[in-house]
Amino acid sequence: MAEEPFDADKVDSAAPPKGGSIVLRDRFLISGDKPLPNLDSPNAQAYMAEDRRDFSRDLFALVCSPGIPPRTDAMRRLKSDPGAGALELVDWGSAFWPLIGRRTVVIIYERPLGGRVFEQIKNNRARINEYDIPRKIIQPLVAALRHMASINVPHRAVRPDNIYFIDEECQEIVLGECVTSPEGFDQPIMFEPLERALASPAGRGKGSMVDDMYSLGASIVVLALGVNPIERMKGEDLLFRRTNMSSYATICGNARVPILLLEPLRGLLSDTPNERWGLDEIEKWLNGLKQTPQQKKAAKKGDTPVRFGGRDHTNVRTLAHAFNRQIPEAVRVLKDETFHAWLKRSAGEGDLSDSLKGFIDTSAFHKDGMQGSDEFLVARCCAAMDPLGPIRYKGVSVYVDGLGPMLAMEVIRNGNVQILTEIVLRDIYQFWTSDRAVFMDTVEAASVFAQVKAWLTNNVAGQGLERALYELNQGLACQSSHISDDGIIFIEDLLPALDHAAGQVEGKSKPTDRHVTAFIAARFNEDILPHLKALTAQKESTSVIGMLSLLAFLQWKLKAEPVYGLASWIGGLLGPAINGYHSRTTRREIKREIPKLVRKGSLPDMFDLIDNAEKRQEDQNGYADAVEEYAISAHEIENIEGTGSELTEKAEKIGQKAAATISIITTMIAMTIMFITEML
Amino acid sequence: MNVKSIVWGLLILVLLLMAALPTVMVIAFGMLPGMVAFIVDRTEERSATFCVGGLNLCGVFPYLLELWTEDHSLEMASSQLTDVFVLAVMYGGACMGWMLYLSLPPVIASFIQVMAERRLQQRRKTQSDILKEWGNEVIEDANLGAGIAPAPVAEESQKETAAA
């Protein structure tokens, strides 16, 4: 008997046995036992998929690696607005994947039947001559990029092994997926524009169509030649060579590139972003319009080299890259007059030398402050030495729009997030953006960083580093220790996941840790600030009520199913909130009611029970009366008890007065009677 | 007491002696215990004076009436003051006054003491009930003076707090 497919959409159902199939959205059957390694992405594995409503469709599923934040925003846009020239994103969602035993993002794509273009060309299964390249390769890819530009989704994964033949006859070319990892993360250095390749893979940034155009150029070279001309050149060597010689010279230098393609390749492979060919230029070229040829510009080089970090540098950009890795040595070189003499005489960078000296003087002036630190000085100097490069600080290289994915990767891998937060908190980005006003929207970049800084410096629950993390990475799963294995990326899945996690909770840990609150704040489009402020309160009872109110609001607004486990979990934490009532009778009543509401799984009802305004007012009034009554009693007791023999004396005096009164009254009565008797 | 008052007092006394000497004689001798009580009683309230003097007057008054209604003369006054029975009635009244003054206060004090104890118990119970219902924080919030000792902590409320 065939194994029943597992309903992958249910967050709170028990994990099925490993292996087998899943059904996404009650529609797409994904077979875990039918992998498609030929369609794998660097960070996602491909499996056969079927549309149960339309069996004629050829589909495959990409199962993302749980440790990499996918581009959910791009998925939404590509699904709602599919365009020609790229694999169609049919559907996507978060699902439990039995093979890894946890939830992850699964994307359903149209299946390319002809395989990868580069492999087919290499294996001579497809023949594309140099004259076919513009029409068969460049045109469809440009159409795909044009569409992506129109929906503001840069592809950022254009490379030869991500271009497919959609048909079995290997005639029609399409761009592959681009959503299983952050922008540029999977790109080999060769296919990433130089300024972004200098950053760490996770920190290359969202980028734009300008970056896709470079990747297109580099991919055209490989597809046209049928081989990667610089296949053996890797990592730092490739970066060093590209920086020194220019990307075009490095990639096309020794290759027999068809003459027909020289003009577009020179434009596409330009290392200066604002001079690089865009879609308009390449379309004009495809239409046969002659462009003004770009001059082959070699990078600025000195006559004599400077030895640093085991390499001979003739270019200040490579030096900037090296300086960031060896900060104490870099400071020594920066303060050395010989280096400045080299800058002026050999490298022809007199102005830069003056600027660097200015930074050194500023650093000396602020020697006791953060701005006087070696790390700050080197970061400032690197930004000036490489005006196109990434932010460099304490050995980290990150592009300004790549901070979010880089932060996510560091958090997921328990790396060092402190350096990244320092870039924001110490305003390292400010001088970086001011140096780059020529080619980017520095105001926007600065405003993003200012917002991140505001989050980082805010201590209210739902803010801080975690808030920045989830705001900057829409595809990042909630990293709370309670539900990190559940791969929760949608707010709708949060409560069921917490409900499921309730069974494994130990001790008195709260469901709303910093990650959960930040995740809610980032993904839930309602005003939850009052709840967050209550959650942050020092007073435990207020904090517990804040937690309950936040989750109750979430359940109410999302119309979520009853959460029995979570209700029980929260019920066990309500002690301080119940003790917020003064009246023991009210406390007992609430304690009696809680189990009933736990059985209903309703957090709003539970909140209404705990924080009923009328009940609280009654309690306050009753308590105030009780305090007053207690004080009155205390004073009366004091009066009665008095001090020493005071009460006896008082009683004696009262007795004496009574005796006198009796005596007087008796006398008056007797005298009156005697007088009347005498008169009669 | 100033000279003016003494002069006025003496003037009135002389006038009284001239106008009603027999009455003055009976009062002066009959009210001796009351006067003694007035001299002995140094309290502000003068309870002993009122108590003894009142009943002393009660004993003197019938003979004063007799004097005023029958024969207001020195002989009559002298005969009354030399009659042992008359003196026994006058001084017996004063004696009753003294007895009343000495015996009533302890009785009343005991009664008041019992009432106070009962009130004290009621108030302590009220406090204990308040603490049971509203907890020990009431003591703090009642902001009692240093001299006022709080009531004992209600054990039940303590247990509840610990359980919560």
Are residues A343 and A227 located together in one domain of the fold?
Answer: no
User: Quick check: helix, strand or coil at residue A564?
Assistant: helix
Within a domain: A297: no
User: Quick check: helix, strand or coil at residue B91?
Assistant: helix
Q: Which of A415, A447, A470 is the last residue of a domain?
A: A470
Contact A629, B151 (CB under 8 A): no
For A11, A86, A145, A576, the CA distances from A82, given in Å and listed in that order, are 28, 8, 12, 53
Q: Do B130 and A626 touch (CB under 8 A)?
A: yes
HSE (CB half, 13 Å, CA atoms) of A555?
A: 25
Residue B162 has pLDDT above 50, yes or no: no
Are residues A73 and A138 located together in one domain of the fold?
Answer: no
DSSP A342: I
Instruction: Output the pLDDT for position B114.
Output: 85
Q: Do A654 and B52 touch (CB under 8 A)?
A: no
Pairing relationship of beta strands A28-35 and A44-51 according to DSSP bridges: antiparallel
How deeply is A508 buried, as exposed, middle or buried, from its count of CB atoms within 10 A (0-12, 13-18, 19+)? exposed
Measuring CA to CA, which residue among A336, A83, B14, B58 is closest to residue B6?
B14
Within a domain: A407: yes
Are residues A181 and A209 located together in one domain of the fold?
Answer: yes
Instruction: Output the pLDDT for position A18.
Output: 47
Are residues A455 and A348 located together in one domain of the fold?
Answer: yes
Are residues A426 and A496 located together in one domain of the fold?
Answer: no
As a whole number of angstroms, the distance between CA A637 and CA A657 comes to 24
Are residues A466 and A343 located together in one domain of the fold?
Answer: yes
Facing residue for B134 by CB, picked from A623, A636, A678: A623
A43-47, A328-332, B136-140: least confidently modelled range: B136-140
A93-102, A267-276, A508-517, B146-155: least confidently modelled range: B146-155
Here the CATH number for the domain that contains residue A224 is 1.10.510.10
- Where does the pLDDT of residue A231 fall: very low under 50, low under 70, confident under 90, or very high at 90 and above? confident
Instruction: Output the pLDDT for position B62.
Output: 92
Amino acid at A247: S
Determine what percent of chain A falls in helix, strand and coil, rounding each to the nearest 5. 55, 10, 35
> What phi and psi values does residue A116 have, to the nearest 5 degrees?
-75, 135
As a whole number of Å, the end-to-end CA separation of chain B is: 74
As a whole number of angstroms, the distance between CA A233 and CA A231 comes to 6
Q: Where are the domains of chain B?
A: 3-163
Q: Which of A51, A81, A110 is the last residue of a domain?
A: A110
Contact A346, A304 (CB under 8 A): yes
Within a domain: A296: no
Q: What is the ipTM of this complex?
A: 0.78
Mean pLDDT of A489-513: 88
Q: Do B47 and A656 touch (CB under 8 A)?
A: yes
As a whole number of angstroms, the distance between CA A138 and CA A142 comes to 6
A294-308, A309-323, A536-550, B88-102: least confidently modelled range: A294-308
As a whole number of angstroms, the distance between CA A162 and CA A39 comes to 9
B89 touches chain A (CB under 8 A): no
Provide, as residue numbers in chain A, all residues whose Cβ is less than 8 Å from the Cβ of B154.
none
Residue A663 has pLDDT above 50, yes or no: yes
Structure tokens at B147: 């001299």
As a whole number of angstroms, the distance between CA B111 and CA A654 comes to 11
- B111-120 in b/e form (b: 16+ CB < 10 A) is ebeeebeeeb
Residue A3 has pLDDT above 60, yes or no: no
Determine what percent of chain B falls in helix, strand and coil, rounding each to the nearest 5. 80, 0, 20
Within a domain: A642: no
Residue A263 has pLDDT above 80, yes or no: yes
Are residues A357 and A422 located together in one domain of the fold?
Answer: yes
- Where does the pLDDT of residue A297 fall: very low under 50, low under 70, confident under 90, or very high at 90 and above? low
What average pLDDT does chain A have? 88
Here the CATH number for the domain that contains residue A102 is 3.30.200.20
Distance from CA of B78 to the nearest CA of A (A): 21
Are residues A133 and A86 located together in one domain of the fold?
Answer: no
Q: What is the DSSP string of A420-486?
A: HHHHHHTTHHHHHHHHTTTTS-HHHHHHHHHHHHHHHT--STT-HHHHHHHHH-TTPPP--TTTGGG
> Which residue's entry shows tokens 């952050």?
A182
Provide, as residue numbers in chain B, all residues whose Cβ is less than 8 Å from the Cβ of A680.
none
- Where does the pLDDT of residue A267 fall: very low under 50, low under 70, confident under 90, or very high at 90 and above? very high
Q: For an interface test with B, which of A618, A620, A623, A633 has the most B Cβ atoms less than 10 Å from its Cβ? A: A633
Instruction: Output the pLDDT for position A216.
Output: 95
Within a domain: A419: yes
As a whole number of angstroms, the distance between CA B37 and CA B31 comes to 10
Mean pLDDT of A273-301: 79
As a whole number of angstroms, the distance between CA A647 and CA A654 comes to 10
Are residues A354 and A462 located together in one domain of the fold?
Answer: yes
Are residues A422 and A532 located together in one domain of the fold?
Answer: no
Contact A102, A59 (CB under 8 A): no
Q: For an interface test with B, which of A656, A668, A674, A680 has the most B Cβ atoms less than 10 Å from its Cβ? A: A656
- Where does the pLDDT of residue A189 fall: very low under 50, low under 70, confident under 90, or very high at 90 and above? very high
Facing residue for A634 by CB, picked from B54, B104, B142: B142
For A276, A339, A396, A579, B7, the CA distances from B113, given in Å and listed in that order, are 106, 103, 87, 41, 48
- Where does the pLDDT of residue B147 fall: very low under 50, low under 70, confident under 90, or very high at 90 and above? low
B119 touches chain A (CB under 8 A): yes
B141 touches chain A (CB under 8 A): yes
Are residues A490 and A595 located together in one domain of the fold?
Answer: yes
The number of folded domains in chain A is 5
Instruction: Output the pLDDT for position A1.
Output: 37
B152 touches chain A (CB under 8 A): no
Residue A57: Cβ within 10 Å count:
15
As a whole number of angstroms, the distance between CA A409 and CA A415 comes to 8
- Kind plus residue range of the DSSP H or E element containing A34: strand A28-35
Residue B148 has pLDDT above 80, yes or no: no
Crossing angle for the helix pair A350-365 and A374-385, to the nearest 10 degrees: 160
Residues B6-44 have pLDDT tens digits of: 999 999 989 988 888 999 999 999 999 999 999 998 888
Within a domain: A641: no
> What phi and psi values does residue A109 have, to the nearest 5 degrees?
-120, 155
Percent of chain A with pLDDT over 70: 94
Facing residue for B58 by CB, picked from A633, A636, A667: A667
- Where does the pLDDT of residue A113 fall: very low under 50, low under 70, confident under 90, or very high at 90 and above? very high
Q: What is the DSSP string of B15-55?
A: HHHHH-HHHHHHHHHHTHHHHHHHHH--SSS-HHHHHHHHH
Are residues A96 and A146 located together in one domain of the fold?
Answer: no
Higher-confidence residue: A95 or B149?
A95
Q: Which domain holds residue A594?
A: 477-610
> What phi and psi values does residue B51 have, to the nearest 5 degrees?
-65, -55
Measuring CA to CA, which residue among B20, B11, B102, B26 is closest to residue B64?
B26
Residues A123-135 have pLDDT tens digits of: 888 888 888 889 8
As a whole number of angstroms, the distance between CA B65 and CA B68 comes to 5
Contact A598, A568 (CB under 8 A): yes
Residues A6-46 have pLDDT tens digits of: 455 554 444 444 457 899 989 999 999 999 999 999 999 99
> Which residue's entry shows tokens 């970090």?
A309
Q: Which of A286, A320, A352 is the last residue of a domain?
A: A286
Residues A561-618 have pLDDT tens digits of: 999 999 999 998 998 899 889 999 999 999 999 999 899 999 999 999 988 889 999 9
